Amino acid sequence: MVTQPGLHDNDLVLWTQLLGEVLNAEILERLRAEHPRVRYSHGFLIQQLVEGPRPIGEIAENLGVTSQAVSKAVRELEALGYVERWSDPGDGRVRRVALTDSGRALLEAGRAIRAALNAELAGVLGAERAAAAASTLKAALQARGAMPAVSARRLSPSEL
């Protein structure tokens, strides 16, 4: 017989997943106050553009998805005004993508929302417990070998 996890279980994976889902939903809800058509999956592509323009093929490789999937997401973000794309002057087959001013504003809004949520959690948990929780989660990511992907902004969505 399979038992369901209880509210008193110390299932780190379950609680981490649930907290991630709750916080992702809250971030998206707050973002949509100013950016109503933004989707969760858009964030993965936007993170690829933080340091400047990139070719679609490079973004696809970093995210582990097809160029077609990235092109589709780029078209969505372009229609929303968050990115622009153009042909590479040195190779017309290569399409480059960059954030627009609106895209940078979306990025900054997301960062501000995360900062506010961190402050809210620190207010509830206490600064020391919040810092310890963050350190524990970073150590767990390190233990799972995920920090290089996190540092390189190469975490992939399940679908783009």
Q: Per-residue pLDDT for the chain (160 aa), expressed as one digit of tens each?
A: 556 666 668 899 999 999 999 999 999 999 999 999 999 989 999 999 999 999 999 999 999 899 999 999 999 999 999 999 999 898 988 999 999 999 999 999 999 999 999 999 999 999 999 999 999 999 999 999 988 888 888 776 554 4
What pLDDT score was predicted for residue 119? 98
- Domains of the chain and any CATH numbers: 12-151 (1.10.10.10)
DSSP 54: E
